[in-house]
Amino acid sequence: MTGIGVTAQHLTHRFADLTALDDVSLEIRPGTITGLLGRNGAGKSTLLSLIGGLRVPTSGTLLVDGEAPFENALAAADTQLVREGGDTFETEPVKDTLGLYAERRENWSSELAEQLIETFELDVKQKVVNLSRGQTSMVGAIIGLASRAPLTIFDETYLGMDAPNRYAFYDALLA
């Protein structure tokens, strides 16, 4: 499986009177691990939401694998965006959340999911709402890594993880 490239040309996104992104141009090559660095409020999460197809740009061009991602079922099928909250179903057990992703992700790796559950020592019978912030982040990490999506986007997924689990996440990401 190869990755998907992302290109943006003169990308701008506004929320009412707030400009979150202003004339951003970038290229993310397929098959690379790319990080976004910037201060709080710099527009990183907004950019990731645009790439993930959750928002439409105010102006400029954004292409994911040569296609505009917003309301694009083909682009969505190849993209897994994991936001800070983990994108889980809070009132359901972890195993049900993971099961739903397993059903919907063509390249899902149950083996990897099980390895990460063991590594993170996560109780999948627990409802997500009862997990700590770090444990919820671990669920998001499992979703992102086990999805094996050609384009996987993590938006501060590691928040709340303790040091050993954060390093386990980094190791799994690099592997």
Q: What is the DSSP string of 100-116?
A: HHHHH-TT--HHHHHHH
Max intra-chain CA distance, the chain:
47
pTM given for the model: 0.89
Question: Which pLDDT tens digits describe the chain residue by residue (175 residues)?
Answer: 467 899 999 999 999 999 999 999 999 999 899 999 999 989 999 999 999 999 999 999 999 999 999 999 888 889 999 987 667 778 899 999 999 999 999 999 999 999 999 999 999 999 999 999 999 999 999 999 999 999 999 998 888 899 999 999 999 999 8
Question: How does pLDDT run across 79-109, given as a tens digit for each residue?
Answer: 999 987 667 778 899 999 999 999 999 999 9
The Cα–Cα gap between 128 and 83 comes to 15
**C-alpha closest to that of 59 among 7, 5, 8:** 8
